[in-house]
Chain A
Amino acid sequence: MLRLAWRNLLRTPGRSLTTGGVVALVVFLSILFLSVYGGAMDAFFRLLLERTGHLVVRVAGYRDLEDLDRLAFVPPALDLPPGAQVEGVLEGVALVIAGDRSRPASLTGLTEPGFLRQKRLLKAGRLPQGPGEALLGEALARALRVGLGEEVVVYAPGGLGLGIVALRVVGLLDLPETSLEARTLLLPLADAQALLAPGRVTRLEVRLPEVGLYQLAPLEALKARLAAGLPGLSVETWLEANPTYAAILPLYDVVMAVYLGFFFVLAGLILLNALYLSLVERVREFGLMAALGLSGSQVMALVFWESLLLVGGAALVGLGLGLLLYLELKEGFRLPFPQWILEQYREFGLPEVLYGRLGVKEVLLTLGYSVGVALGAALWPAWLARRLEPVEAMRYVP
């Protein structure tokens, strides 16, 4: 049956090539889209993880609290596995004043490891090396008209600390998002505590070595262990700490599946058309085969085999080409858009260079669609072929 199906496909090489080409193109485009989309999502989430840490410890119920008095807490000692790092961070809002200019800013008090992570974003100057020094977002410095070595006054009333402090700008940061850059001021944790809440932090960030982007199981295990010993505090994974982003992940799977579905439905309809044409051309032949003893289910099987062979071969070609391209994409690529669009995309946290990602799940999804299309498209022509009456079919004139 398989050999017969294969021979039938080769009898109309033009049509088989065209239909197979459409299927291969759809499979290739699917692999391409999934790799690019996966790469974009990875870049988005990697940035988030870098900013949040794997686990975040905050005051329990912090989402309903607004005042710093209740959001800040004295950092407890954490029982962490070897290699894990914990950093205290204190965040607040202040008015940054320089001469006759002022801008509202988000203050972030960091320890040394936190500053070290900012090093690659440093556009000018150096990292703070002691108290009284600060990093400013380049856009914020421009708005305040301050440069390296100049002083800014940070005014943050309403907290438990001094409420006002003078800082020297020692470095300027180039952040991907200009809106964030225009309100970013990083200062040593000790200075932030003196200004806002002595001895306290608003969150603890826990970073674990060698834990991949979507490896949530080790995070959940550590979270459960930590949470038991931290009354009044909540421990969240980086995704839980960013619920809006967390909502995207499952949505992404559904959107991409529906998106690919549109392509495969078109491929399926074109395949259905080709199979039907093939049936119409061979009505007399089917009649003859039935007269010679081929059962209805065998006739159906022949049509299904033809469809499966055609789609299977084409899908393998499309998949092969897609995987070849993926190998290129995973080394890094730029989206084929004008430079101004890529620059604007940075404002949403999407870097200009992305790295393609393709998992087994994505390949299986594509192959699953291909098999589904092969079977679905063959259903009606196979049913028609089965219903052919041998005598009538042999007398058929198109």
Chain B
Amino acid sequence: MTLLRLAWRNVLRHRRRALLLSLVVGYVTLAVLFMLGFLDGYGESLVESYARYVEAPVVVAPKAWWQDPDPQSGFKAPFRVDHPGVLAQTPRLALPVLLRSPYKAHGAEALGVDPGGERALSRVPSKVAEGRFLAGPGEVVLGYRLAERLDVRLGERLVVETGRKALGLRVVGILRAGVSNVDFAGVYLHLEDARSLTGVWATHLALEAPRGQEEALAQELNRRLPPGLEARGIWSLMGPIRADYEASRLFYLPLLGLFLFLAAIAVASTAYVSVRERLREFAVAESLGLAPWRLAGQVALEAALASGLGLAAGLLGGYALLWYTATHDVFGPLMRLSAELLPEAGLAEHLYTAVRPGYALVAALVVGLSALLALLFPGRLLLRMEVSAYLKEV
């Protein structure tokens, strides 16, 4: 306790110096918090997009369909997954089609859905900007950008062709989901219509899983499902954009480590000057019986306290910044441009940073690093100190 009080007093002896160090450590803490929040926010936005709009938390399909996603590789007969971890499930039928409006033709992958089952799993039904979601066969709902390209409006008819069969459907809803795949390419028709076009029951089963347990549930199901079927969790369903997320983590995490290290160097550098200024003081303390390793420990404690001040300031500023970017659409323009550029990537138009208490622990590494470096460099000065030489100084 005495050591702590002594260290604290020494930190406060040079307030300007302590303030400067706080600025360095605070800045690094803020950068670490923001970057971690941004990366996690990006990941969460991708999970949200794919789990609630583009795919589902977990998807079960015949292995043949995963290899060759043609309707003919789908389920020929009704199938249901019985597992307590599955909170809801609904069959879906994905089919490649040619859409023909009175003015234009367009190729797309249509999704045959059961409107009731879909509401339990997906947010798409709640994102109808004009009209309504599907109520029965003979209807189709389109993403707004696709509707613009096809030049179709609510109430108009659209021909859906598969090459073997065709159906005339009425446009009953226009979607505005804020997720690129839905808005640019979303085509939803009733499951019964999709079945009549393809002759199969469904291509895959979409399952609801507890948040964060999607991959575990998929693995568990893979142990229990009949042979020939395979379950995939949300991260496996994501496609190429997952690589961008993983690459961002691989790139930024070492960079954050470097930031923390540089801040710790600044702290150790200040501690070095502070020790050199006080060598006589330390010599007196040692001659009075304080062991050199305890003196070195005191220096490490001072470094930890000085960086702790900056950490506290950085945490305050960092969490305030994260709170702001988690509640305001700061990255909206950037995300909208990215979605425009990569319409098939499944990017959402909005990105909000994540706010997690665990970031503080990562940022707190700077305190440990500072103490370690202070022990290694200025601390070593004390361990090598010739007490008699400094006591003789005038």
Contact = CB atoms under 8 A, between A and B. Distances in A.
Interface of A: 14-15, 18-19, 22, 66-68, 92-95, 97, 100-106, 142-143, 155-158, 179, 183, 244-245, 247-248, 251, 262, 265-266, 269-270, 272-274, 276-277, 280-281, 335, 337, 340-341, 343-345, 347-348, 398
A341 B246 CA distance: 8
Contact of B150 (A66, A244, A269): A66
Interface of B: 14, 16-17, 20-21, 23-24, 27-28, 31, 68-70, 72, 96-98, 100, 103-108, 149-151, 161-164, 239-240, 242-244, 246-247, 250, 259, 262-263, 265-266, 269-270, 272-273, 277, 337, 340-342, 344-345
Nearest to B246: A341
Nearest to A101: B70
B28 A247 contact: no
Given A341-B247, A344-B240, A344-B242, A104 B17 contact: no
Contacts of B342: 348
A266 B107 contact: no
A188 B70 CA distance: 28
A272 B243 contact: no
B23 A269 contact: yes
B94 to A, nearest CB: 12
Nearest to A279: B16
Nearest to A343: B243
A128 to B, nearest CB: 22
A284 to B, nearest CB: 12
B107 to A, nearest CB: 2
A335 B266 CA distance: 31
Nearest to B148: A66
Given A276-B16, A277-B17, A277-B269, A244 B96 contact: no
B107 A157 contact: no
Given A67-B103, A103-B96, A280-B17, A248 B164 contact: no
B270 A143 contact: no
A104 B266 contact: no
The 3 closest A-B pairs by CB, nearest first: A104-B107, A102-B163, A344-B243
From B106, B273, B277, name the one whose CB has the most chain A CB atoms within 10 angstroms: B273
A108 B253 CA distance: 44
Contact of A269 (B16, B244, B266, B345): B266
B164 A102 contact: yes
A337 to B, nearest CB: 5
Given A102-B163, A269-B27, A244 B341 contact: yes
B20 A272 contact: yes
Contact of A66 (B20, B27, B104): B104
B105 A93 contact: yes
A66 B96 CA distance: 21
A262 B255 CA distance: 12
B163 A337 contact: no
Contacts of A95: 98, 107, 161-163
Given A95-B163, A266-B259, A345-B243, A66 B24 contact: no
Nearest to A155: B163
B240 A347 contact: yes
A262 B30 CA distance: 11
A36 to B, nearest CB: 10
A155 B104 contact: no
B106 A276 contact: no
B104 A102 contact: no
From A95, A247, A337, name the one whose CB has the most chain B CB atoms within 10 angstroms: A95
Given A104-B108, A337-B250, A280 B98 contact: no
From B16, B70, B243, B345, name the one whose CB has the most chain A CB atoms within 10 angstroms: B243
Given A155-B98, A273-B20, A277-B270, A345 B247 contact: yes
Contacts of A155: 98, 161, 163
A92 B265 CA distance: 62
A398 B277 CA distance: 7
B31 A270 contact: no
A29 B228 CA distance: 50
Contacts of B23: 269, 272
A266 B149 contact: no
B366 to A, nearest CB: 12
A266 B70 contact: no
10 contacts: A66-B151, A94-B98, A95-B107, A143-B96, A158-B100, A266-B27, A273-B21, A280-B17, A344-B243, A345-B247
A174 to B, nearest CB: 16
Contact of B149 (A66, A97, A244, A343): A66
A341 B164 contact: no
B262 A266 contact: yes
Contacts of A67: 103-104, 151
Contacts of A14: 272
Contacts of B269: 15, 18-19, 273-274, 277
Contact of B266 (A68, A100, A273): A273
B242 A66 contact: no
Given A93-B105, A100-B164, A280-B17, A247 B337 contact: yes
B223 to A, nearest CB: 25
B243 A340 contact: yes
Contacts of A281: 273, 277
Given A22-B265, A157-B100, A344-B240, A244 B340 contact: yes
Contacts of B108: 104
A156 B163 CA distance: 11
B233 to A, nearest CB: 17
A269 B17 CA distance: 12
A158 B108 CA distance: 17
Given A66-B104, A94-B107, 13 more contacts: A18-B265, A104-B97, A104-B98, A104-B108, A105-B107, A143-B69, A251-B337, A262-B31, A270-B262, A273-B266, A337-B247, A344-B239, A347-B239
